[in-house]
């Protein structure tokens, strides 16, 4: 029984990280979509979420005003989540530049702010961003050109991470993000992008409906778009620059928040797991989102199972040793980072992998304990 469990866990982990991308590649060759992409210039509302962003908001507004998109077609809106610093004051200086400011009466979080602002947006296309995400000049135009195909309902851009702090976790995040981009490109070939980056994504305004405040719109919107019968796709040439997490605490906090909200979002959109109605999309959603949430539990069960089996065969004993070495490498990396010591780049992967999965594990435990975080706290 333990041997069956061992190999089931191994297969689950391998499929999640390696089998699923291979499966996507094969399916895309059969059912890949041939979508139109040409320059169009509909009205666009660029909505920037901000909470106490006095350090970045002016740079973000100037970055937005400099975008390669017709000025008469672009509306810039800052949604301030009841900021208490100089954020609102700074935004008001740009009123003459078609920059509108919406201030929440009290702190409700990013999703609640967008529920308030999006119905007031004038653009046919809505683009959502954060105050710290800086767009390359052509990013907006490259996002919007995908809407020349009437079947496209939403488009996600790409984050390019800059590791200004030279942290090991930041380096690991960069490696992980390249893997995630590869997945999104493959999902996009099928018109089934499952998640977008909160700093750069666009959708047809008519497809937006109010999202519960405790949920993450960057997960719910692509799923809503699919449910509405449109395609959600990835545009790798629409680039937004952001900094990586500076240390393990930032990364872990982010993963806890993401895991917590993903669980709530997947439960809210549970209808999409109906394979008989949504077919391949249901399988993609389960493979990319559900199995990824289960990985920390797979790893824990695998370690316990391997240790139990190590008494009956050398193979399992050696496999247990390999797991110990991997986790020990993560601990060494963690300690080295705390002491600001430079260490072999090979430790980036185990450290980030462990920090990420620990964050997911804690996020799930918090959810099961009834701790549902609704208020958005930007990680700085």
Q: How does pLDDT run along the chain (380 residues), one tens digit per residue?
A: 899 999 999 999 999 999 999 999 999 988 888 898 999 999 999 999 999 999 999 999 999 999 999 999 999 999 998 888 899 999 999 988 889 999 988 888 888 889 999 999 999 999 999 999 999 999 999 999 999 999 999 999 998 877 655 554 445 556 677 888 899 999 999 999 998 888 999 999 999 989 998 888 889 999 999 999 999 999 999 999 987 655 556 666 777 878 888 899 999 999 999 999 999 999 999 999 999 999 999 999 999 999 999 988 999 999 999 999 999 988 888 887 776 656 566 777 888 888 888 888 888 888 888 766 555 556 55
- Crossing angle of the two packed helices 348-368 and 291-309, in degrees rounded to 10: 110
* Residues 336/341/346/349 CA torsion (nearest 10 deg): 50
Total-model pTM: 0.86
Quote the radius of gyration of the chain (alpha carbons, Å): 22
pLDDT of the residue at 352 = 82
Three-state DSSP state, 129: strand
The 3-class secondary structure across 291-339, one letter per residue, is HHHHHHHHHHHHHHHHHHHCCCCHHHHHHHHHHHHHHHHHHHHHHHHHC
**Are 37 and 329 in contact, with CB atoms under 8 Å apart?**
no
- The pLDDT, as a whole number, for residue 81 is 87
Structural domains of the chain, with CATH: 44-245 (3.90.550.10)
Q: Residue 106's CB: how many other CB atoms inside 10 A?
A: 7
């Amino acid at each position: 029984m333990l041997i069956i469990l061992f190999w089931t866990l191994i297969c689950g982990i391998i499929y999640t990280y390696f089998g699923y991308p291979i499966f996507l590649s094969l399916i895309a060759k059969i059912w890949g979509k041939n979508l139109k992409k040409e320059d169009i210039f509909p009205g666009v509302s660029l909505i920037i979420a901000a909470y106490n962003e006095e350090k970045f908001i002016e740079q973000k507004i100037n970055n937005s005003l400099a975008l390669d998109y017709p000025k008469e077609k672009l509306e810039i809106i800052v949604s301030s989540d009841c900021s208490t610093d100089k954020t609102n004051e700074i935004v008001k200086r740009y009123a003459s530049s078609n920059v509108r400011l919406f201030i929440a009466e009290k702190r409700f979080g990013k999703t609640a702010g967008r529920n308030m602002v999006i119905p007031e947006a004038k653009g046919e296309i809505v683009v959502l961003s954060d105050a710290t995400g800086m767009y390359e000049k052509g990013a907006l135009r490259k996002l919007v050109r995908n809407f020349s195909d009437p079947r496209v309902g939403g488009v996600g851009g790409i984050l390019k991470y800059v590791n200004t702090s030279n942290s090991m976790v930041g380096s690991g995040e960069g490696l992980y993000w390249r893997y995630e981009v590869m997945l999104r490109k493959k999902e996009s070939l099928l018109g089934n992008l499952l998640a977008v980056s909160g700093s750069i994504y666009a959708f047809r305004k008519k497809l937006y409906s109010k999202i519960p405040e405790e949920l993450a719109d960057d997960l719910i919107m692509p799923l809503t778009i699919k449910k509405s019968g449109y395609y959600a796709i990835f545009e790798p040439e629409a680039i937004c620059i952001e900094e990586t997490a500076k240390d393990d605490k930032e990364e872990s906090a982010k993963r806890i928040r993401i895991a917590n909200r993903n669980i709530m979002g997947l439960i809210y959109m549970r209808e999409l797991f109906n394979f008989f109605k949504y077919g391949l999309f249901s399988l993609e959603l389960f493979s990319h989102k559900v199995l990824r949430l289960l990985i920390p539990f797979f790893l824990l069960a695998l370690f316990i199972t391997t240790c139990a089996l190590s008494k009956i065969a050398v193979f399992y004993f050696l496999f247990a040793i390999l797991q110990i070495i991997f986790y020990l490498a993560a601990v060494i990396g963690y300690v080295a980072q705390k002491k600001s010591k430079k260490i072999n780049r090979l430790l980036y992967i185990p450290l980030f992998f462990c920090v990420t999965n620990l964050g997911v594990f804690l996020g799930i435990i918090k959810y099961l304990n009834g701790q549902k975080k609704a208020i958005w706290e930007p990680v700085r």
